[in-house]
Structure 1
């Protein structure tokens, strides 16, 4: 059965919005790894940057600060100390929002994002996805 026009538009919107998982892990029990799987399961285009190059499903984890295009959301899986080296990188991607997952909360970086008119949200990507709020 074909999707309705509304369902098709929702799917198309999700496919246009790319999420960057920053702090991605190859370890299947890590939340960043689970998030990659859930994002792709929800038809959300996903890219990833982590310490070790590899693949999670069809998503390649890059180890360098690649210049991805059309990043809508950056979801963080890095503690605040590790985030500092990524401030300029994240800002250069011009995302609409940055999600601070549990343990990544960072008031300093949230203030910097606000100065650049980038939304920030303290939330759990997995919860947002499971409740349809992503």
Structure 2
């Protein structure tokens, strides 16, 4: 599996959250990870940032925010120029799909955990 630097947006410090599980699974699969959440902290050795830090060379953004909470990040995500944005279950957002496609960014309504489990990440 080729390394794809991934931004987990909506990262949680709670082990029951899918974003938490995704960070662990990305790290286990040797994928470089950066993360943004509401609270700073650390998950699986990955530091959770707050705000909108400037990251370099993001390949994939995987979303764990509902459509309403995504709006504040539209310009930020497009500005990072990732190759794709994964919309995990519960994050579907046709309005954002359109903006991403206009910016030539791939829209992937999928589940990061499933993609990693099936080696199709």
Q: Per the shorter chain, which TM-score range?
A: over 0.9
Partner Cα distance (2:63, 2:107) in 1: 11
Greater relative contact order (Cα < 8 A, sep 6+)? 2
1:65 deviation in Å?
0.3
TM-score (norm 2): 0.98
Pair 1:86-2:82 in alignment: no
CA-atom RMSD, angstroms?
0.7
Which one of the candidate residues 22, 32, 36 is aligned to 1:49? 36
Pair 1:95-2:78 in alignment: no
CA deviation vs aligned residue, 1:46-88 (integer Å, no higher than 9, x gap): 0000000000011000011001000000000000000000000
1:123 deviation in Å?
0.3
Which one of the candidate residues 46, 68, 85 is aligned to 1:59? 46
CA deviation vs aligned residue, 1:23-53 (integer Å, no higher than 9, x gap): 0000011000000000000000000000000
TM-score (norm 1): 0.89
Partner Cα distance (1:89, 1:59) in 2: 21
Give the 5 Å matches for 1:11-26: 13-14=2-3, 17-26=4-13
Structure 2 gap segments, 5+ residues each: none
Point out the structure with the larger helix share: 1
Asked which structure has the greater CA Rg, the reply is 1
Partner Cα distance (1:112, 1:93) in 2: 14
* Aligned equivalent of 2:113: 126
Partner Cα distance (1:123, 1:91) in 2: 19
CA deviation vs aligned residue, 1:104-127 (integer Å, no higher than 9, x gap): 000000000000000011000000
Total equivalences in the alignment: 121
Which one of the candidate residues 20, 26, 45 is aligned to 1:33? 20
* Aligned equivalent of 2:97: 110
